[in-house]
Chain A
Amino acid sequence: GAVVSQHPSRVICKSGTSVKIECRSLDFQATTMFWYRQFPKQSLMLMATSNEGSKATYEQGVEKDKFLINHASLTLSTLTVTSAHPEDSSFYICSALSGEGRNTIYFGEGSWLTVV
């Protein structure tokens, strides 16, 4: 099946710094990618929808200036957590829409962010 790669898988950063997470579709072009946040033992919470070449659409309650999303190519979207705080510590997951006739969504492996 289609592969979506996320990097880094784990990152620890100091409070106040910024961290970037990359999401790549390895064997298909993804005009649309999605970013989720997941707290322990909970479901996935959609943060934003990222469309190649345009601004991301953020869900209500998600700060667009804090969670910067860039979708510069058909295979890469990035999420930058700016001025990170301990409460930003979470599991961040991206997904990509494979539009090759079936419009199926595939997920990356997720990135654990710990802010100390």
Chain B
Amino acid sequence: GENVEQHPSTLSVQEGDSAVIKCTYSDSASNYFPWYKQELGKGPQLIIDIRSNVGEKKDQRIAVTLNKTAKHFSLHITETQPEDSAVYFCAATLNYGGSQGNLIFGKGTKLSVKP
């Protein structure tokens, strides 16, 4: 089955700096890779996702890159702000047609942005 590794487990950056979180996956059949942001006591919020037919996707200050050959994908947050502080989870799954494989999550990265 799929296994997702996420690094680092904690990340502290200064406001305005960039933050990068990396994930690797084991199942080459996986083709959908979402990223979620979870604030304390709340459910995960989808912030960006990427499918295996593209290598990069960007949405304002957030970008995700995917390297299918190496089976790793990364989240990039630029110009970080204190409100970016949260736990971020990567996930991978096989997504085909009208069906959806189970999301396999990484262990999470606690991002702290210091003002």
Interface residues of A (CB under 8 A from B): 1, 4, 6, 31-32, 34, 42-44, 46, 49, 91, 93, 95, 97, 99, 103-110, 112
Interface of chain A, main secondary structure: strand
What is the size category of the interface that chain B forms with chain A?
20 to 34
* Residues of chain A contacted by B44 (CB below 8 angstroms): 44, 93, 95, 107
The answer on a CB contact under 8 Å between B108 and A34 is: no
Indicate which residue in A31, A97, A108 contacts B43 across the interface (CB closer than 8 Å).
A108
| One of B65-73, B75-83, B94-102 at the interface | B94-102
The answer on a CB contact under 8 Å between B34 and A104 is: yes
**Assembly CA distance A6 to B44 (angstroms):** 13
The answer on a CB contact under 8 Å between A46 and B102 is: yes
> B34-91: which have CB < 8 Å to A?
34, 36, 41-46, 49, 89
| Cβ distance A3 to chain B, nearest Cβ, rounded Å | 11
Interchain Cβ contacts under 8 Å between A and B, 5 examples: A44-B44, A95-B103, A99-B100, A106-B46, A109-B42
